[in-house]
Amino acid sequence: MSETIEDLVLRLATERGLGKTICPTEAARAAAEQRGEDDWHGRLGGVKAAAVRLAKRGAVAIYRKGKPVDPDDFRGVYRIGLPKPPDDSSTE
């Protein structure tokens, strides 16, 4: 049984670990491979849509130039990773 693209993106990001990201092409290639397809380019739109849905739920973050971006308002080259934990440097 093959994973949904959302499950695949989340699994790849989790396997990569906190502080690291995946390229959307990695997820697109893996999705195409699961389905026995050679051309992964057609999967990129689905990967982006899945990343946006996951980011809105807080499961992943979308990064541009190493900084998290608004999942509803980004363009260009991006990466997908686990969200960075909140900065806990506050003093009491």
What SS3 string covers 4-73? CHHHHHHHHHHHHCCCCEECHHHHHHHHHHHCCCCCCHHHHHHHHHHHHHHHHHCCCEEEECCEECCCCC
What confidence score (pLDDT) does residue 89 get? 55
Domains and CATH numbers, the chain: 5-81 (1.10.10.10)
pTM assigned to the model: 0.89
For every one of its 92 residues, what pLDDT tens digit does the chain have, with 9 covering 90 and above? 578 999 999 999 999 999 999 999 999 999 999 999 999 999 999 999 999 999 999 999 999 999 999 999 999 999 999 998 877 555 54
